[in-house]
Structure 1
């Protein structure tokens, strides 16, 4: 298809069927991850949208295995669903480090790891704006997944690049490593906040009125601009799910 405009499906019904078909014809993720995803959706509906979908989890696992990733850093753990995905992708000899601001979410994640016998994930509790620049890994990470508060995205990227300079000791991300920023289109508001966007009619709650004008949208735009402008990054802004900006670090 030669056109750039991603008119993917004519309506939601067809989109749902195509999505289901694609999931069925994509390498699966372990049963316990699917089970935990359903559990969180059922028991924590107010915050379950903080998780990735199971189809995105399939894509993340595939990407990590394609890269041969063995060390992954996750900025924003929530209750550990994506940590379980990374844990599976790196294998028992790999290592996943997660940064989570909310102690209650971190505790739920630790409970899930214990329930499913996961021993290769470490969660550091605290504000990632402080814990991220304080990291000094013995070996650099292969991938960094950013899925925390959106206002911090530009600062996270700045910190990652400053901590991954060529020739530096205890660098954060290896040459050729990936930085994955989740939610970088945010209901498509980042690209189009006009009245053409039907998400403007959605009730995001009293604290998020006129969300298309919010600081979240502004900082996500800034993050995407920083990625595009960075001399040391190549990237693909993928217009699937809520937008995923996949960047490769160059030395």
Structure 2
């Protein structure tokens, strides 16, 4: 699993406390997105580190939903985990579109 301890805080204790706070107060990812993450970790092992963390995916979903986004452009894609989170935010919105640009 991706190491989610942020280095922007003064020490590991503060980082751990902030991470715990965020996890406890964030809505869980939908089951199909969680399964995608689990499959990626199982099939790709250490390479799965290139995928955004679950907390980052939750943040992307929340941000897109909060902004009322109708269109998303994701530049670069590993396994589509973050794109799935963004697509979830747009679910049910008429005319919504998620595009992925793979350079």
Could you state the TM-score of these two structures normalised by the residue count of structure 1? 0.34
Equivalent runs, 1:1-251 vs 2, <5 Å: 8=9, 10-11=11-12, 15-92=15-92, 93=94, 94-100=96-102, 128=103
Counterpart CA distance in 1 for 2:39 and 2:74 is 21
Q: Is the alpha carbon distance of 1:7 and 1:35 closer, same or farther for their aligned partners in structure 2, counting shifts above 3 Å? A: same
Which residue of structure 2 lines up, in the alignment, with residue 3 of structure 1? Answer: none
Distance 1:42 1:9, change over 3 A: farther
Q: Which runs of 5+ in 2 are unaligned?
A: 1-6
RMSD of aligned alpha carbons: 2.2
Q: Which has the larger radius of gyration?
A: 1
Q: Secondary structure at the match of 1:96?
A: strand
Alpha-carbon distance in structure 2 between the residues aligned to 1:19 and 1:59: 13
> How many correspondences in the alignment?
95
Write out the 4+ residue segments of structure 1 that deviate beyond 6 Å after TM superposition: none
DSSP 3-state at the match of 1:74: strand
Distance verdict in 2 for CA 1:9–1:29, change over 3 Å: farther
Find the counterpart in structure 2 of residue 179 from structure 1: none
Larger relative contact order (Cα-Cα within 8 Å, sequence gap ≥ 6): 2
The separation in 2 between residues aligned to 1:77 and 1:27, in whole angstroms, is 24
TM score, norm. by length of structure 2: 0.76
Does the C-alpha gap of structure 1 residues 67 and 47 become closer, same or farther in structure 2, counting only changes over 3 Å?
Answer: same
Instruction: Tell me how far 1:27 sits from its aligned partner.
Output: 2.5
